[in-house]
Amino acid sequence: MRKSLLTAFGAVLLALAGSSPAAADAAATPYSPPAGLTATDLTFRNGGTELHGSVVRRADLDPAVRHPAIVLVHGSGAGPREELGQEAEVFARAGLVTLIYDKRADYTKTHRDYSALADDAVAGVRAVAALPDVDPARTGLWGLSEGGWIAPLAASRSAEAKFLVTIGAPGLPPARTQAWNLINRITRAGVTPSTVDAIVGTGMGLAVATDGFPQAAYDPVPALRTIRQPVLALWGELDTQVPPRESAEVFRRELTASPSVTIRILPHGAHAGRITTDGYDRVGGPTINGFAMGELLPGYGTLMTDWIAQVTGGRLPASAADALPAQGSDSIPVSGVGPLWWAAFATIAMALLSWPVGALVRRLRGGRGRPAGARPARWLVLTGLIALVGGVAYPIMTVATSGKQTEAFLFGQPLAWLVLRAVTVLALLCTAWAVVALRSAQGRDRLRLAVTTAGGLLLVPFALSLGLLLP
């Protein structure tokens, strides 16, 4: 039973996520550099996977001289190379040979492999380091957001990467980071904190348990501890997607093998080093595949290129860290729902469904008349199943859509959640009605009604755990 439930919930998450390798391929488009820069195609391989990218250079770069180079690693999403065009242009204008590449096609919302993605990045470093105008001893990695898990993992595996830069890198596991992101987003939409915690807690717990959230428990700490390259780690002060204070604390504490660690906080900066008014919006910049990229913060690019110039020039900066930013709330650990949760869900569902199943059997056997308690039982089955299934499906939908359709309608509640709470109260009233009806029921009818009523009674603590009966 539990295995079939896991399969069903996983299928729902996959359908709601709506991502596929074909979509990733469709999103990949050629990169066109602005005036003063050039872009040449580069194809490289990681085992059986062929990857395609563009090498961006300053047009006046001397091809007879070996230059420093950098490989850019995407954040989450399909990852067409053009999404990293702004950063590539910053590095290229500073004289770095810069590789941006399309993410592997098997990456989706419900499937990703950080180990394979890290190996892709290492393969990119090898490919760009082999170019005749690149100095392998001055070639490094840059990672954005989810790439802040992948680029450090790649650097920990390969000494061919000589330095590492991250922006908005998470120092916590993916499930915990995404829960914090969702809580911020939905709270901003006016939903009350208790409701936000309930919806996100259930949704993320189910996503983790059904493998609908890939790499949920990935721990970045082991990789950080073995990085021996100089590191520049940056976070936007107003980052609402990755906990900036907690992540910076992890990097500062765990990068023990690095000879030089520089931690910088970008004042008033959003996630990914963009201009923002509140941490949620992005101001200016291009729109790519319908997404507003935002303009890079003034000074952000120079901060990175100056640091790289120091490192590649043989002048390692002394380790230093900015004061850590304030965080609106701390992140909380996320774990998948356990066997007791699944057992409770299945027991309640079977108890409620026992009434219509019994009614069908009774009719097939030629039974006539309405059994005692039929009316309250029918209403309990209807309202109880809506509350049970809806109370689980809505959090799943919220996680699958990243909370984009979840906002307050009335009393700090989303409309669908408000309806579910009302239906849950009706289910409890129907349970009380069924308890009263039990007094006049006899024989098999009494047993059937007792089982259905038990489902209603068990729904009470379960609904409390879902947050449907909380203030």
Burial 393-407 (b: 16+ CB within 10 A, else e): bbbbbbbbebbeebe
The residue-averaged pLDDT of 243-252 equals: 98
- Determine the pLDDT at residue 445: 78
Q: Is 212 within 8 Å of 206 (Cβ atoms)?
A: yes
Confidence band (pLDDT; 50, 70, 90) for 212?
A: confident
Q: Evaluate if residue 15 carries a pLDDT over 70.
A: no
- Determine the pLDDT at residue 359: 78
Tokens of 413: 């509640």
Q: Which of 70, 103, 91, 77 is nearest to 17 (CA)?
A: 77
Higher pLDDT among residues 26 and 86, named by residue: 86
Mean pLDDT lowest for which of 230-234, 364-368, 460-464? 364-368
pLDDT in tens, 248-267: 999 999 999 999 999 999 99
Domains of the chain plus CATH, in order, are 20-173+218-321 (3.40.50.1820), 339-466 (no CATH)
Confidence band (pLDDT; 50, 70, 90) for 125?
A: very high
Q: Evaluate if residue 13 carries a pLDDT over 50.
A: no
Q: Evaluate if residue 29 carries a pLDDT over 90.
A: no
- DSSP 3-state percent helix, strand, coil across the chain (nearest 5): 50, 15, 35
- Determine the pLDDT at residue 12: 47
Please tell me the pTM assigned to this model. Answer: 0.89
pLDDT in tens, 160-177: 999 999 999 999 999 999
- Determine the pLDDT at residue 405: 80
By residue count, the chain amounts to: 471
Reduced to 3 states (helix: H, G, I; strand: E, B; else coil), residue 17 is: helix
- Determine the pLDDT at residue 152: 99
| Single-letter residue type at 335 | S
d(CA 29, CA 231): 31
d(CA 176, CA 427): 33
Q: Which of 458, 395, 384 is nearest to 424 (CA)?
A: 384
Residue found under tokens 């100095």: 135
Confidence band (pLDDT; 50, 70, 90) for 26?
A: very low
- Determine the pLDDT at residue 367: 65
Strands (E), 246-328: 261-266, 287-288, 291-292, 320-321
- Determine the pLDDT at residue 10: 52
Reduced to 3 states (helix: H, G, I; strand: E, B; else coil), residue 175 is: helix
Find residue 98's DSSP bridge partners: 56, 70
Kindly state the DSSP code that residue 297 receives in the 8-state scheme.
Answer: P
Mean pLDDT lowest for which of 109-113, 351-355, 453-457, 463-467? 109-113
Q: H-helix or E-strand containing 209? A: helix 193-209
Q: Which residues contact 216 (CB under 8 A, 6 or more apart)?
A: 173, 174, 175, 207, 208, 334, 336
Reduced to 3 states (helix: H, G, I; strand: E, B; else coil), residue 206 is: helix
Find residue 296's DSSP bridge partners: 274
User: Could you give the percent of the chain with pLDDT greater than 90?
Assistant: 79
Higher pLDDT among residues 443 and 389, named by residue: 389
d(CA 384, CA 430): 9
User: Could you give the percent of the chain with pLDDT greater than 70?
Assistant: 92
Q: Is 407 within 8 Å of 196 (Cβ atoms)?
A: no
- Determine the pLDDT at residue 440: 83
- Determine the pLDDT at residue 251: 99
Q: Evaluate if residue 379 carries a pLDDT over 70.
A: yes
Work out the mean pLDDT of the chain and round it to a whole number. 91
- Determine the pLDDT at residue 353: 96
pLDDT in tens, 397-435: 999 998 888 888 888 899 999 999 999 999 999 999 999
- Determine the pLDDT at residue 30: 74
Tokens of 263: 């931690």
Please give the C-alpha separations between residue 279 and each of 272, 329, 417, in angstroms, as whole numbers: 11, 14, 27
